[in-house]
Amino acid sequence: MKLWILRPIITEEQERKKKHNWEPWYDKVFGFIIRANSSQEARELAQKKPGSECGAYYRKKVWLDPAITTCKELKQTGKTELIMYDFRAA
């Protein structure tokens, strides 16, 4: 099995206009780390546990859509780095 990291894609323009599935920021999932055989399987698992980013006013299947979310394999090798720090304060 492989590890996958899934994150939203939010352009600077979308953020400036506050027009994207993660606005407002609360009650939303901003990332997953999932163990799965493939990126498609990882996306399907993520789509089963969304927050309000998949609500009625937005595209409902954001975790399945590569135009809205990334899904990258986490490799064991590489430089020392922080992989995910997903902090949101009110």
Determine the distance from the C-alpha atom of residue 45 to the mean position of all C-alpha atoms in its chain, rounded to a whole number: 12
Domain enclosing residue 13, as ranges: 1-29+66-73
More confident residue, 59 or 52: 52
Q: What is the DSSP letter of 66?
A: T
Decide: helix, strand or coil at residue 44.
helix
Domain-located, residue 12: yes
Domain-located, residue 49: no
Domain-located, residue 21: yes
What local confidence, expressed as pLDDT, does residue 6 receive?
96
Of the ranges 13-17, 50-54, 84-88, which is most confident? Answer: 13-17
CA distance 23 to 20: 6
Q: How confident is the model at residue 35 (pLDDT cuts 50, 70, 90)?
A: very high
* Measured distance between the N- and C-terminal CA atoms of the chain, rounded to whole angstroms: 36
Domain-located, residue 41: no
Q: How confident is the model at residue 81 (pLDDT cuts 50, 70, 90)?
A: confident
More confident residue, 88 or 41: 41
pTM, 2 dp: 0.85
Domain-located, residue 84: no
Number of domains in the chain: 1
Domain-located, residue 45: no
Domain-located, residue 6: yes
CA distance 30 to 22: 8
How high does pLDDT run on average in the chain?
90
Domain-located, residue 86: no
Which CA distances in Å does 86 have to 29, 59, 77? 9, 22, 22
